[in-house]
Amino acid sequence: MHKSLIGLFLLFAILFVPQCITVPAMYETAEAKQEKRAGISAQYGRGTYKGLCESTKYNYKYGGLRVDYGNVKEYGKLIEAGYELGASVNGFDETSEDANYYNRGMILQMDGRLTGKIVTPTTPVRLGLKVAPGLLLYGGINQRNGEFDGGVEIGSLFYSSFLLGIGNPEFLTVVYHCYPFPYYPAGPYYSFLSLTYHHEEYSITAGGLLPIGHNNDIETPKYHFTLGLGIHY
């Protein structure tokens, strides 16, 4: 196997949402619906970590533009099932504090998931539980200390969500998302909180990484923010 492919595999094995990977932006309601939804979001993150078996500290930041699409059906007002697709283009920049190392590049990402959601029939407040198992394909090119490298990798992008919807019709959705590490079954994990405001067929969502479930030894970002605009049809 080419050394660049090995490098990208190790990168993915150590990081779940690494310097360059975006996460799905949520435009949905806690209420089960039959609809198609699409959106575009901007995402940004940054953090620090220490290299394995060394004391050097590294600082990194990344940002990207992402598009999401979902197609779901409602069954008896209590169950929603369907699928989601997403893609993004992302850039990252990493440097060591002693200025002897830099790594920067661009990543293209595609991902897809099956989705299932169970909701309560209550109004004007309702609860929902969602699971979304899926796959992630990403690849790109980077420049590390003047040398170019690149490759492609396949991984998993799985998450579960707890949803709280307010209003009848629902105008505000609060969602807690949990992204487990596929290579670390016992943890750690990523936890996100997002708020989505709905107005007719449009949605505005904003979210951020919560300071729980992290492990800075494996390069978990300290911050990750997303802001997106969605449409329902």
What is the reported pTM?
A: 0.84
The pLDDT value recorded for residue 217 is: 54
Looking at the predicted structure, is the pLDDT value of residue 167 above 60? yes
Tell me the residue type at 152. V
- pLDDT tens-digit profile of 70-95? 999 999 989 999 999 999 999 988 88
**Can you spell out the DSSP letters for 128-177?**
EEEEE-EEEEEEEEEEETTEEEEEEEEEE--EEEEEEEEETTEEEEEEEE
The pLDDT > 90 percentage for the chain reads 48
Per-residue pLDDT at 113 exceeds 60: yes
Strand partners, 86: 68, 111
Q: Cα–chain-centroid distance for residue 181?
A: 12
In this structure, the dihedral spanned by the alpha carbons of residues 142, 159, 215 and 107, taken in order and rounded to 10 degrees, is 10
Most trustworthy range by pLDDT among 182-186, 199-203, 221-225: 199-203
CATH of domain 3-232: 2.40.128.130
**Three-state SS at 220:** coil
As a whole number, the mean pLDDT across the chain is 83
Six-digit token string for 58: 């590294």
Return the higher-pLDDT residue of 146 and 44.
Answer: 44
Q: Is the pLDDT of residue 97 over 90?
A: no
Q: Give the model's pLDDT for residue 218.
A: 55
| pLDDT tens-digit series, residues 13-67 | 334 344 567 889 889 999 999 999 999 999 998 888 776 666 778 888 899 999 9
Phi-psi region of 195 (alpha: psi -120 to 50; beta: other; left: phi over 0): beta
